[in-house]
Amino acid sequence: MGEQRNSFLDQVKSQIKSKEAQEFVSIELHQHLNEVKNYWLQKGISADEAEEKAVSQMGNPINIGRKLNHIHRPKIDWMTLILFMSALLLGFLPLLSQGYMNSNHFSTYKVAFVILGVVLAFVMMFIDYRKFANKGWLFYLLGSLLLLMMYYFSNTLSEGVPMLRIGPITIESLMAIPFFFLAWSGFFQSKKFRIWQFIILFLFSSCLFLISASITSLFIYVVMTFTMIWWSKFNRKTIAIVLGAIFTLAVTWGVIVWMNVAYYQRYRILSFINPYDSEYLTSKFGLLKIHHLFMDAGWVGKHSFVDQFIPQAHTNFVFLSFTYYYGWLFAAILFLVLSLVAFRIIFIAQKLNDMYSRLLLVGVIMIYTIQLVGHVGMIIGLFPMTNMSLPFISYGLMPILLNAFLIGIVLSIYRRKNLLSANTLHSNKQ
């Protein structure tokens, strides 16, 4: 009678196009058939008769397959895709305002960066992200190796931060974050992972970010990790104690590092704390200068940079240059579009019960939001000056690839959100 069951399942699966949905349906129907079979066994009939009755009660396999194909077919999150493409297109406006689009160098590379970002997001959407769940150690190793390469083999510097230049591509420590993001997602959903392992691995990886001299990447990494562990399986009282101890250690270390920090890094902090100090008032481009330009933009902008020079106008100060040229109204629209991306991810996360999927989305939300709030907050005077990129808007390959990867993870989760219960059932069965 096993042949009868297999024949029934094969006919059902023949109507389902998605291989992932086929696996889901197979597990689901096997469980249902076993429940019905056990019911008839309790009635006192033989196993063969119980199996036959269970299969016959299911109904027509072709009709069942067609209905299940409609229910469980992969979904495309059109809302996230529209917001993603809108943000990428808005990223061309700063180049247009500054005349960079007349330069073959900037325009060609910007188009290439955007195309690569779109390709990466779509590739990630079609990859089954659940296959990453048990590869936490692999991703942690890759992230660590990348940071070690940045330290030992860097061949260029940007504001004192070591980077690895390979032809036209510059790799920075920011690109290690996706690996650690996947690593912690896998660790925190594992029943075998312990808090002492977290402490050792976190401190080691944080030291690697420190030696790479990128305070911005370290900040993103720390906030991302702390937020993800807070939403993990660990007891929150234990988490609070551990994070408190790590914070105390970090403050102590920070005091020591402050005595030897580079001048430009100390300048950014001090100018934020006391912007009216005479040293910072005479600075060519301090926080007061940024605030003045931002407030001088008005609702419609200046539409010209003839009288003003904004350094790094297409990267670190892209929101300022965008606002100064197009005005507060267009800046508000830009911020709204970028904020809607974060709200959309939060909305999707609230609909999920799967631990691994939620951890991934929590990490995505934090990495993305830190960049958005950090960059805009710096321009409006809430945070000190940093080299925080504005998602999808700042010029550069690495920031676009990072955020495209995050969007790809979101699309991948949404595409399989109707299959998550099968994954949980399969895990419990094993």
Per-residue pLDDT of 389-413, as tens digits, reads 899 998 888 899 999 999 999 999 9
Per-residue pLDDT of 9-20, as tens digits, reads 888 888 777 777
Mean pLDDT of the 325-335 span? 91
**Most confidently predicted of 236-240, 272-276, 416-420:** 236-240
CA distances (Å), origin 21, targets 5, 29, 128 = 18, 12, 12
Distance CA 386, CA 367 (A): 16
Distance CA 69, CA 87 (A): 33
Per-residue pLDDT of 43-63, as tens digits, reads 788 888 888 888 888 888 888
Question: Does the pLDDT at position 263 exceed 60?
Answer: no
Per-residue pLDDT of 79-118, as tens digits, reads 999 999 999 999 888 777 665 555 556 778 888 899 999 9
Q: Do you know the residue count of the chain?
A: 430
Measured N-to-C along each axis, helices 177-189 and 397-415 cross at an angle, to the nearest 10 degrees, of 30
Distance CA 7, CA 177 (A): 47
Token pair for 422 = 């099968």
Per-residue pLDDT of 177-197, as tens digits, reads 999 999 999 999 998 999 999
Distance CA 157, CA 54 (A): 69
Q: Which residues are within 8 A (CB) of 412 and not within 5 positions of it... i.e. 6 or more apart?
A: 124, 125, 126, 127, 128, 129
